[in-house]
Chain A
Amino acid sequence: MSASILIVDDSTSIRVAIRMALTGAGYTVSEAADGAQGLSKASGSRFDMIITDLNMPNMDGLSMIRALRKNPAQCGTPILFLTTESEDAMKQQAKAAGATGWLVKPFVPEQLIRVVRKVLGR
């Protein structure tokens, strides 16, 4: 069965790009436009992985990751966050919040798929 992945990003273009790359690789994709939406989607159904931006309106990525990890049901769900080289402090904070790994923007679809496969193990 194909793994289902939730994308949380306020940028439509990034969401579309990630969605196309992931669906092309056979994953099932859901989308949320900010942290609050992402959190409610993630508590509504199970995802095999969550990919989230950090800078978002309503609820930023860090708070969402923290909230997710507080929920025992989300324990162990891989969470990738999108970042850039210039945000090393953010990276540390996100990891401390419980993120699994990161993806450095800009990325091409092949990189994305590689990281997703790496973390999912399939």
Chain B
Amino acid sequence: MSQNDPVAAFRVEAGEVLEQVEQGLLDLGHRLDDHELIDAVFRGLHTLKGSGAMFGFDALASFTHHCETAFDRVRKNLTPATPQLIAVILSAQDHMRALIEGDATDRKAEGDAILAKLQAALDGAPAPTPEAPPVVQGWRLSLRLPPEAMQNGINPLALLDELRTLGDCRIVARTDQVPPLAELVPTECHIGWDIEVRGAVSRDDLEDVFIFVLDDLDLQIEAIGDTSCDDVEDTAPPPGAGTTPSALPPTRVDTMPPAQDRDPATTPNGRGAPKTGESVRVPAERLDLLMDRVGELVIVQSRLSQLAHSSGSNATDVALRSISEEIERLASELRDTVMVLRMVPVATLFGRFRRLVHDIARDTGKTIELSTDGETTEVDKTVIERLADPLIHLIRNACDHGIEPPERRLAAGKPEIGQVRLSARQEGGEVVITIRDDGHGIDRERVRAKAEAHGLLQPGQVVSDQELLQMIFHPGFSTAPQITSLSGRGVGMDVVKRTIESLRGTIEVASVSGQGSAMSLRIPLTLAIIDGLLIRVGDGRYVIPLAVVEECIELSLEEDLRSRGRSFITLRDRLVPFVRLREMFATGTKPSVHQKIVIIATGTERVGLVVDQIIGSHQTVIKPMSAVHCNVPTFAGATILGDGGVALILDVVQLVALGQHQEERLRAVA
């Protein structure tokens, strides 16, 4: 586990730092007042001290601390850099090296001798002694954050939650300084708080909560004496809150621990520790049924809200609208709840691969280490099940084709142990699973030769790098010169690609010759219901998955005319290709006067779609296309709209590929 052993990494690094320090000291011997050198030596010692303590080299840390202090004085011009001082610290270097390499117990005397010499040149600084804080019944706090706090990443809610972990809290928001809407700066915090914390809390505990804002914070802390609880009610009215009734306003949240039942560590006093979760095993098909019902409910709900919106303004209509809005909210909450029921962490999937890699390593005589991260990323259960086989295949490929045998790795100057890294993370509405190896990468020449041999490419045909790499997913394609029992038969990669596409996902391939390759699978979080953007093109309505929509901009008439034929717009200094859906779908209608461009993005690629009208967001229940239509590439499915009409769901991946193709053609011409 060399990659993951910080102590080993520290030893190597500390050795390098020591060398730099030594070099610096030697140079300094010739140029005693060179401040850059002094700073460099100081930084080196500083690093040694800091990281030494972190990795358990306490003897090194405390020893280096003295040398660092000495140099800090030199740096601040309190002590001149003398040849004697440099000599002492040079001799200290060897001692430090010994401390890094091994056991420190029998070397204390040696270190002390050096320190004594060091001390001879310098005065020690006395350390301040902390005084014991008194413990009181509770505290009353009045708090207002500096205006820029939220921009600088302070989360006021997190601060309040942290206070709640200290003891029983009553928190009252002070809204007197909230400006009228027109003057309100949304990135500033306008709310102040009056807080009472009860319990055995010290002033330091409170100040610790606000440690990062303490300097610029408007914070008053006063102790609540040894009084009974009832007089607190009388003394508690928050100043400035004009409308404060005697009972606390609803902004107060009592002693409930914050919703963090996943990590009990945040409730240190053991107070209100969450109950260990009870769980119920439910057959998967019941969940699927539930999901179906929710889907139907969402469709009915959108019919209801359409009806409500087209209704008039008499009392019944207004009532209908308010019910419709209520139902809309409930339906979307219900949808989210059900969706979460089906989510499982990818850890369940990753767990199986450790053994797989171990076995492959044994069979091939390679040393391979599998590391994983992002195991807690959650994915829909059906997606997880269908991901297992493609991932097994990709990991096999990485181990078998990617990672070289140990002797070739050593010859190439790489560590003997090959690394395969499996990571998962969420990005918008997608989960990205990456399999990365540090092997020799994909041989593009060979891929090209193979592709030409298979007739997939014409000799000399210009393709993009990504298109070339994607060739490996063609059926019957294998670049491994020998076929092993594990891989190289050319069956599999095409199956992998098909499986991922059936999950509405994509595979991106990246590879650096000699350094390894990475396969990134992007898969939508769920397969059943998505938030969509409903648009109109000609007479038809279509849905774009909202998760990929970056922004919507207007395509002005002049711009439209100017760009005719080239289909590119400049968006914040970047050229973005766009596709005219009206032309693509051959609507034969006149374009709308105010055409819009919806910018969609997958990964780093962006493409604009020109539409006639943006209707709005729409909860989209994805229905598969019929057997006849399911091979139409531009559409990923269909959905039923509130008025009973049907809208087709655009396949974003295909459209982006189309746009990208357009861009590359342009580049080729340019």
Contacts and interface: CB of A to CB of B under 8 A. Distances in A.
Contacts of B10: 13
Q: How big is the B interface, by class?
A: 35 or more
B162 A118 contact: yes
Nearest to A44: B604
B169 to A, nearest CB: 15
B473 to A, nearest CB: 25
Interface in A95-117: 95, 98-102, 105-108, 113, 117
A20 B4 contact: yes
Contacts of B158: 118-122
Contacts of B151: 69, 75-76, 98
Contacts of B377: 1-2, 28
A51 B426 CA distance: 20
A1, A78, A79, A95 — most chain B CB neighbours (10 Å): A1
Interface in A3-61: 4, 11-14, 16-17, 20, 23, 25-26, 28-29, 44-45, 49, 55
B215 interface: yes
B153 A78 contact: yes
Given A69-B152, A75-B151, A28 B54 contact: no
Nearest to A25: B263
A106 B51 contact: yes
A35 B426 CA distance: 24
A102 to B, nearest CB: 7
Contact of A13 (B13, B68, B215): B13
A113 B263 CA distance: 11
Contacts of B154: 78, 100, 119
A84 interface: yes
A56 to B, nearest CB: 11
A28 B425 contact: yes
Contacts of A102: 212
Contacts of A75: 151, 187
B51 A121 contact: no
B456 interface: no
Contacts of B43: 55
Contact of A4 (B150, B260, B263, B425): B425
Nearest to B211: A101
Contact of A17 (B3, B52, B55, B148): B55
Q: How big is the A interface, by class?
A: 35 or more
A120 B54 contact: no
A70 to B, nearest CB: 11
A85 to B, nearest CB: 10
B152 A108 contact: no
A12 B265 CA distance: 28
B47 A11 contact: yes
A121 B378 contact: no
A117 B263 contact: yes
A26 B376 contact: yes
B155 interface: yes
Contacts of B46: 84, 86
A12 B13 contact: yes
B53 interface: yes
A9 to B, nearest CB: 10
Contacts of B265: 113, 117
B215 A95 contact: yes
Interface string B205-228: 000010110010000000000000
B374 interface: yes
Contacts of A44: 604
Given A119-B153, A119-B212, A122-B260, A28 B373 contact: yes
A16 B158 CA distance: 27
A63 B216 CA distance: 22
Contacts of B258: 121
Contacts of A45: 427
Given A2-B376, A13-B10, A76 B54 contact: no
A116 B377 CA distance: 19
A48 to B, nearest CB: 10
Contacts of A11: 13, 47, 51
A74 B158 CA distance: 19
Interface in B9-65: 9-10, 12-13, 43, 46-47, 49-55, 61
B591 interface: no
Contacts of A1: 376-378, 426
Nearest to A12: B9
B351 interface: no
B494 interface: no
Interface string B140-152: 0000000010111
B364 to A, nearest CB: 27
A22 to B, nearest CB: 9
A82 to B, nearest CB: 8
B266 interface: yes
Interface of B: 3-6, 9-10, 12-13, 43, 46-47, 49-55, 61, 68, 72, 148, 150-155, 157-158, 161-162, 187, 209, 211-212, 215, 258, 260, 263, 265-266, 373-374, 376-378, 423, 425-427, 604
Interface of A: 1-2, 4, 11-14, 16-17, 20, 23, 25-26, 28-29, 44-45, 49, 55, 69, 75-79, 84, 86, 95, 98-102, 105-108, 113, 117-122
12 contacts: A11-B13, A11-B47, A13-B10, A16-B3, A17-B54, A25-B263, A76-B153, A84-B50, A86-B46, A100-B153, A106-B61, A117-B263
